[in-house]
């Protein structure tokens, strides 16, 4: 039967495996945001062709996502993203309590990375995610839902599904490619965040919260839907359920 969502307990944070996971998740998320936001700042500084800039940012994110997932996979799962965490929680692969610890961890890592970038670049503006001219709130939310659904569907198909077969070992790389492709497709419209933490750090450091709620609502809905659907319709009976004591 499919895994069920588990509440967990506050005592999880004192478990050695959870502490190790939080440290690794912080490091990997910090490095991901540092490179991702840094690439956007570099494009803004160089002020070159917008199309080249979009490709540069997409490739930087694709590469760093693939590497950081691989780096953190064995210990923390290499989530890097609250939307990934909620997607795995919806599929019963991480408890709600531990998901909350991950969220705090990811947000702190993003803020630290953006604060350091602000210092290292001499106070350059930290670019935020915001909707392009002509793109409304509903359009932005739907765009982020679809892009994040695509991301989590890929995570489940290539990293989580026990029947991934020949894709085993390629999941991190393929997930990075999907992130890059999504940025090329959605970047000029919604910014293609797919990641509340990636949007939170720049917004806090810059003090600009324009359209920020879109980058929570869209990715969390998209990630949660993908995790629930893939787990229950494509993995389903092949998984052993979580302990009854943790289920609700």
Domain CATH number, residue 155: 1.20.1080.10
**Residue 25 placed within a domain:** yes
DSSP string, 139-194: HHHHHHHHHHHHHHHHHIIIII-TT-GGGTTTHHHHHHHHHHHHHHHHTTTT----
Q: Which residue has the tokens 């990811």?
A: 106
| CA–CA dist 59, 148 (Å, integer) | 17
pLDDT computed for residue 165 by the predictor: 86
DSSP classification of residue 232: I
Model pLDDT for residues 171-196, shown as the tens digit of each residue = 999 999 999 999 999 999 999 999 99
In the structure, what pLDDT confidence band is assigned to residue 1 with cuts at 50, 70 and 90?
low
DSSP classification of residue 38: H
pLDDT computed for residue 100 by the predictor: 95
pLDDT computed for residue 52 by the predictor: 96
**Residue 2 placed within a domain:** no
Model pLDDT for residues 151-171, shown as the tens digit of each residue = 999 999 999 999 988 888 899
Residues facing 247 on adjacent strands: 6
Contacts of 6 (CB under 8 A, 6+ apart): 92, 95, 96, 242, 243, 246, 247, 248
Q: Which residue has the tokens 């604060």?
A: 115
In the structure, what pLDDT confidence band is assigned to residue 237 with cuts at 50, 70 and 90?
low
| CA–CA dist 136, 243 (Å, integer) | 44
Is the predicted pLDDT of residue 246 greater than 60, yes or no? Answer: no
Q: Which residue has the tokens 């630290």?
A: 112
Model pLDDT for residues 8-45, shown as the tens digit of each residue = 777 888 888 999 999 999 999 999 999 999 999 999 99
Residues facing 6 on adjacent strands: 247
**Residue 7 placed within a domain:** no
pLDDT computed for residue 244 by the predictor: 37
Contact 132, 188 (CB under 8 A): yes
pLDDT computed for residue 248 by the predictor: 31
Counted domains in the chain: 1
Tell me the percentage of the chain whose pLDDT exceeds 70: 94
- Its domain, for residue 109, covers 12-240
**Which conformational region is residue 76 in: left (phi greater than 0), alpha (psi within -120 to 50 degrees), or beta?**
alpha
pLDDT computed for residue 2 by the predictor: 58
**Residue 212 placed within a domain:** yes
């Amino acid at each position: 039967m499919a895994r069920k969502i588990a509440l967990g307990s506050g005592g999880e944070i004192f478990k050695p495996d959870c502490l190790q996971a939080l440290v690794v998740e912080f490091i990997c998320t910090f490095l991901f945001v540092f490179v991702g936001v840094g690439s956007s700042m570099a494009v803004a500084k160089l002020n070159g062709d917008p199309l080249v800039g979009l490709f540069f940012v997409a490739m930087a994110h694709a590469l760093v996502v693939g590497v950081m997932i691989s780096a953190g996979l064995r210990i923390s799962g290499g989530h890097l993203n609250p939307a990934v965490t909620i997607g795995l929680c919806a599929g019963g692969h991480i408890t709600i309590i531990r998901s909350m610890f991950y969220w705090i961890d990811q947000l702190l890592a993003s803020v630290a990375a953006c604060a350091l970038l602000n210092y290292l670049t001499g106070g350059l503006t930290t670019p935020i995610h915001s909707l392009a001219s002509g793109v409304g709130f509903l359009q932005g939310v739907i765009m982020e839902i679809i892009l994040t659904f695509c991301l989590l569907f890929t995570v489940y198909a290539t990293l989580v599904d026990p029947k991934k077969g020949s894709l085993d070992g390629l999941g991190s790389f393929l997930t990075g490619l999907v992130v890059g492709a999504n940025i090329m497709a959605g970047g000029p419209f919604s910014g293609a965040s797919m990641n509340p933490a990636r949007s939170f750090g720049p917004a806090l450091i810059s003090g600009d919260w324009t359209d920020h709620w879109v980058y929570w609502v869209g990715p969390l809905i998209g990630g949660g839907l993908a995790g629930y659907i893939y787990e229950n319709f494509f993995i389903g009976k092949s998984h052993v359920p979580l302990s009854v004591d943790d289920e609700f």
